[in-house]
Amino acid sequence: MQDGSKTCSRNDFARVYIEKDLLGDAVTERIVSRLPHAKIIAVSHYKDVFARSRQQYDVQKANRCLILARNTGRLIYDGAPMCQDFDMENFSYTNSVMNCIYDCDYCFLKGVYDTPNIVVFVNFEDYRLACEEKLKQGPLYLCISYDTDLMALNGLTGLCDKWTDYAKDREGLTVEIRTKSSPRDFVSSEHIIYAFTLSPDEVIEKYEKYTPGLNARLEGVNRAIDAGANVRLCFDPIMRIENFESVYKTFIGRVASAVDLNKVRDMSVGPFRISADYIKRMRKNGPMSEVAWYPYENEGGVLGYGKERAEDMTRFVTEELCRYSGREKIFIWN
Ligand code: SF4
């Protein structure tokens, strides 16, 4: 089983809402058995809880609920322009979980949902069938950890295991699993890419609350490499922080001394950016958030640090990486 350290503890959710039809479902039962102290509440539809009006994001954050549901809507989406597509055709994503156990200040999810409550869609078989349908059109590159950190939740949901069991031998399918966790187990397959987001400890402490520190993430990276898994390192988002150059220089040096970059499949570099559509809700949900209230520049509906500054930051990180690795492995978001 793939697991992420600093993942869900048994007491993470005091209440679990379950759609009535899913009581007794195998995945539901597995999750409930891992939360023996949680109060179970049956509901007709997950949106009765997740999308109800007048929710108080900050209040709920201290006492998040888990909601188990069946996704009867769309299951696979085309990749957003905000995402690095690694030159892949049919770049798509899917969301078998909505919201995340971590709480990064810059997370776009704060701009999408009015609640930090987490929805787990337990109907994996429907997702698999949707993939099969899509694969009839050609190869599919699918990000499965998009609206969440799926690996960090794997100990509870087992969904990462289901995806990797399915994808590992499926011709035409490549899945990317993005994580900030520090997993112990990996599947070695050309169809699975483990994408680790790495940040300097200064950024982790300031903006990536509850995530494992850099050392723990690097240990996870090395375990993945030792297991023969495909590893991607994501230096994205790069955050504008005090002493930027010295912090990022030290950070890249630390990564390069801990990890054999020759054994990494590729790397991505990108400055923090967010869709302008999300910022209003992000500010409402994070009234004291420095990231939310930064005076960003708007370029074509994308908020960022401004073209010149963002390019300088990206160039700096890329050049530092090039001191230890070939440029051809590095994908740059622009
Ligand atoms: S780990 Fe990713 S999905 Fe989770 S809160 Fe942080 S940015 Fe959002």
Alpha-carbon span 68 to 66, nearest angstrom: 7
Question: Residue 308: CB partners within 8 Å, gap ≥ 6?
Answer: none
| Strand positions, DSSP E, 180-313 | 182-183, 192-197, 208-209, 230-238, 266-271, 273-275, 297-299, 302-304
In a domain, 274, yes or no: yes
In a domain, 249, yes or no: yes
Q: Is the dihedral of CA 257, 258, 264, 268 positive or negative?
A: negative
- CA-nearest residue for atom 6, ligand 1, is 104
Distance 107 CA to ligand 1 centre (A): 5
The values of phi and psi at residue 323, to 5°, are: -70, -20
Alpha-carbon span 10 to 38, nearest angstrom: 9
Instruction: Output the pLDDT for position 262.
Output: 96
In a domain, 24, yes or no: no
Alpha-carbon span 251 to 201, nearest angstrom: 8
In a domain, 137, yes or no: yes
CATH of the domain at 225: 3.80.30.30
Tens of each residue's pLDDT in the chain, 334 residues: 554 444 555 457 989 999 999 999 999 999 999 999 999 999 999 999 999 988 889 889 888 999 999 999 999 998 876 666 666 677 899 999 999 999 999 999 999 999 999 999 999 999 999 999 999 999 999 999 989 999 999 999 999 999 999 999 999 999 999 999 999 999 999 999 999 999 999 999 999 989 999 999 999 999 999 999 999 999 999 999 999 999 999 999 999 999 999 999 999 999 999 999 999 999 999 888 999 999 999 999 999 999 999 999 999 999 999 999 999 999 998 7
Residues lining ligand 1, Cβ inside 6 A: 100, 102-104, 107, 109, 148-149, 180
In a domain, 41, yes or no: no
Q: What is the dihedral of CA 202, 223, 170, 269, to 10 degrees?
A: 30
Amino acid at 72: T
In a domain, 62, yes or no: no
Alpha-carbon span 173 to 141, nearest angstrom: 6
Q: Which two tokens stand for residue 31?
A: 């999750």
Distance 95 CA to ligand 1 centre (A): 13
- CA-nearest residue for atom 7, ligand 1, is 107
Alpha-carbon span 81 to 334, nearest angstrom: 10
Alpha-carbon span 23 to 15, nearest angstrom: 15
Question: Residue 34: CB partners within 8 Å, gap ≥ 6?
Answer: 8, 10, 155, 156
Instruction: Output the pLDDT for position 8.
Output: 53
What percent of the chain has a predicted confidence (pLDDT) above 70? 94
The total domain count for the chain is 1
Asked if residues 31 and 212 have their Cβ atoms less than 8 Å apart, the reply is no
The values of phi and psi at residue 279, to 5°, are: -70, -35
Alpha-carbon span 331 to 83, nearest angstrom: 12
Range of the domain at 323: 77-95+123-332
- CA-nearest residue for atom 8, ligand 1, is 107
User: What is the rounded radius of gyration, in angstroms, for the C-alpha atoms of the chain?
Assistant: 19
Instruction: Output the pLDDT for position 59.
Output: 87
Helix, strand, coil percentages in the chain from 3-state DSSP, rounded to 5: 35, 25, 40
Instruction: Output the pLDDT for position 4.
Output: 47
Distance 148 CA to ligand 1 centre (A): 6
Mutate to test the pocket of ligand 1, among 109, 207, 239 (most ligand atoms within 8 A of CB): 109
In a domain, 70, yes or no: no
Distance 104 CA to ligand 1 centre (A): 5
In a domain, 245, yes or no: yes
